[in-house]
């Protein structure tokens, strides 16, 4: 049951859109009273369904599902009042969103990207090119959308890939903290090479004791912000190489 001192944060729980699979899982639990059946209905694993519930509960700030013990079926799950409130809000937002997108027409993708608020300064609209399973992880190959030649690789869990319904051709937003992008002076060969490793030219440098913040334009034309070591000596228009760990790249699906 909902704790009396807790408050349901609908805005946080619905921040990524009511049409995603997490809301669908919650809806199926409300209809059938079973987490495993909800996972099968939505087309994700049981583990992914629990990950979805954990995420929604953390965002909402209160329990959304509670277990039901015993009974003819051996127990199951049911929505708390907060869980039902979240579904009601999702339905209302879905209807409102459809109306707004219909009015915006071709401007909708850009408006949706701007609506995503995050501390990550590196954000690039991309399209999924390929998925490669590696045990409990999935390696996601991406290419920049909007005629950008940017190539990226992200490494996420299988459950996250399931919940995002990732598939080749799906538009996504790739995000990375500036602190996760490493900036180094380009060596004499002038070669960058490798995945998530890009040659670039510096456009701005801000010195700092904890590291030099560097803004640069990749050879593909994409802008990126990263950090070099403190007192790096880097200068505007200097050539550098930017690198980003695959595990440091986050993906968002704007629905």
pLDDT tens figures, 196-247: 999 999 999 999 999 999 999 998 888 899 999 999 999 999 999 999 999 9
Output 100 or 248, whichever has higher pLDDT.
Answer: 248
Domain boundaries along the sequence of the chain = 10-107, 178-245
Q: Residues in the chain, how many?
A: 255
The fold adopted by the segment(s) 10-107 is Arc Repressor Mutant, subunit A (1.10.10)
Alpha carbon of 199 to those of 117, 119, 235, 250: distances in Å?
Answer: 28, 25, 15, 21
> Which residues make Cβ contacts (< 8 Å) with residue 239, sequence separation at least 6?
185, 186, 190, 199, 200, 201, 202
Question: Token match 């329990």: residue?
Answer: 63
Per-residue pLDDT band for 145 (boundaries 50, 70, 90) equals confident
The pLDDT assigned to 76 comes to 87
Is the confidence at residue 81, as pLDDT, over 70? yes
The pLDDT assigned to 160 comes to 93
Torsions phi, psi of 172, nearest 5? -140, 170
The pLDDT assigned to 9 comes to 54
Per-residue pLDDT band for 55 (boundaries 50, 70, 90) equals confident
The pLDDT assigned to 60 comes to 85
* pTM confidence score: 0.73
The fold adopted by the segment(s) 178-245 is OB fold (Dihydrolipoamide Acetyltransferase, E2P) (2.40.50)
The pLDDT assigned to 89 comes to 87
Per-residue pLDDT band for 167 (boundaries 50, 70, 90) equals very high
């Amino acid at each position: 049951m909902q704790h009396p001192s807790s408050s349901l944060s609908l805005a946080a729980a619905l921040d990524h859109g009511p049409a995603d699979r997490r809301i669908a899982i919650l809806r199926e639990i409300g209809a059938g009273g079973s987490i495993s059946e909800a996972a099968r209905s939505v087309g994700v694993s049981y583990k992914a369904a629990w990950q979805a519930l954990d995420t929604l509960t953390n965002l909402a700030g209160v329990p959304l599902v509670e277990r039901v013990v015993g009974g003819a079926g051996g127990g199951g799950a049911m929505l708390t009042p907060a869980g039902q409130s979240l579904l009601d809000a999702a339905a209302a937002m879905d209807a409102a969103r459809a109306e707004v997108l219909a009015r915006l027409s071709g401007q909708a993708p850009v408006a949706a990207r701007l609506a995503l608020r995050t501390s990550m300064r590196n954000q690039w609209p991309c399209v999924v090119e390929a998925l490669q399973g590696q045990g409990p992880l999935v390696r996601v190959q991406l290419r920049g959308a909007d005629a950008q030649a940017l190539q990226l690789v992200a490494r996420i869990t299988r459950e996250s890939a399931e919940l995002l319904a990732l598939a080749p051709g799906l538009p996504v937003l790739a995000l990375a903290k500036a602190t996760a992008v490493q900036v180094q002076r380009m060596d004499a060969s002038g070669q960058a090479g490798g995945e998530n490793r890009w040659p670039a030219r510096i456009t701005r440098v801000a010195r700092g004791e904890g590291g030099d913040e560097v803004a640069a334009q990749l050879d593909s034309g994409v802008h990126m912000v990263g950090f070099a070591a403190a007192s790096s000596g880097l200068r505007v228009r200097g050539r550098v190489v930017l690198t980003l760990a695959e595990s440091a790249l986050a993906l968002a699906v704007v629905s």
